[in-house]
């Protein structure tokens, strides 16, 4: 599969972006099609197509940087009073750019952003069954 993504070009400085944060491992910049004003993307500089390919240390760093950005969004002129983190892993999850990225989405009342879908009410035994299966898959 073609490893090229626009985010690789942004990280390399070959494509433009509105940068907000940068260190040796991570870059954060404005989403070009924001869900709400101030919508940010946090990406590892070393490309990983999926969570499975992402170094867990780097994954932790994406979250830490996201946390700082969330605090900055609240006090900046964006002026939000809530923040959503969102990460799409895989086509079915809505991933369009195959370079792992954490969305940091500022929220204000009535902004219209939200997850679609309806919560279900499974029986405890069904929850326990799947919990056991997932525990098994962890392989600890
Ligand atoms: P995904 O659906 O993969 O989680 O999200 C991809 C995100 O990347 C979308 O929110 C989209 O607006 C953003 N995006 C796509 N191309 C570009 C680009 O060239 N520059 C920037 N800044 N964001 C982009």
Is 39 known to be catalytic? no
Q: How far away, in angstroms, is 40 Cα from ligand 1 center?
A: 10
Which residue(s) pair with 29 in the sheet? 19, 41
Q: How far away, in angstroms, is 114 Cα from ligand 1 center?
A: 18
Nearest CA to ligand 1 atom 20: 32
What gap in Å lies between CA 28 and CA 4, rounded to an integer? 19
Three-state secondary structure string covering 73-108: HHHCCCCCCEEEEECCCCHHHCCCCCCCCEEEEEEC
Q: What is the pLDDT along the chain (140 residues), one digit of tens a residue?
A: 556 899 999 999 999 999 999 999 999 999 999 999 999 999 999 989 999 999 999 999 999 999 999 999 999 999 999 999 999 999 999 999 999 999 999 999 999 998 888 999 999 999 999 999 999 999 87
CA of 33, closest atom in ligand 1: 12
């Amino acid at each position: 599969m073609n490893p090229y993504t626009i985010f690789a070009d942004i990280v390399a400085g070959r494509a433009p972006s509105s940068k907000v944060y940068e260190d040796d491992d991570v870059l954060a910049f404005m989403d070009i099609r924001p869900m709400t004003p101030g919508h940010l993307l946090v990406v590892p500089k070393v490309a990983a197509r999926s969570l499975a390919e992402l170094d867990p240390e780097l994954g932790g760093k994406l979250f830490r940087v996201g946390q700082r950005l969330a605090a900055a969004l609240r006090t900046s002129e964006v002026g939000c009073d809530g923040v959503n983190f969102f990460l799409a892993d895989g086509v079915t999850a809505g991933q369009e750019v195959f370079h792992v990225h954490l969305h940091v989405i500022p929220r204000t009342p009535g902004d219209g952003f939200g997850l679609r879908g309806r919560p279900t009410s499974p029986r405890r035994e069904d929850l326990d069954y799947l919990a056991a299966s997932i525990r098994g898959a962890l392989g600890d």
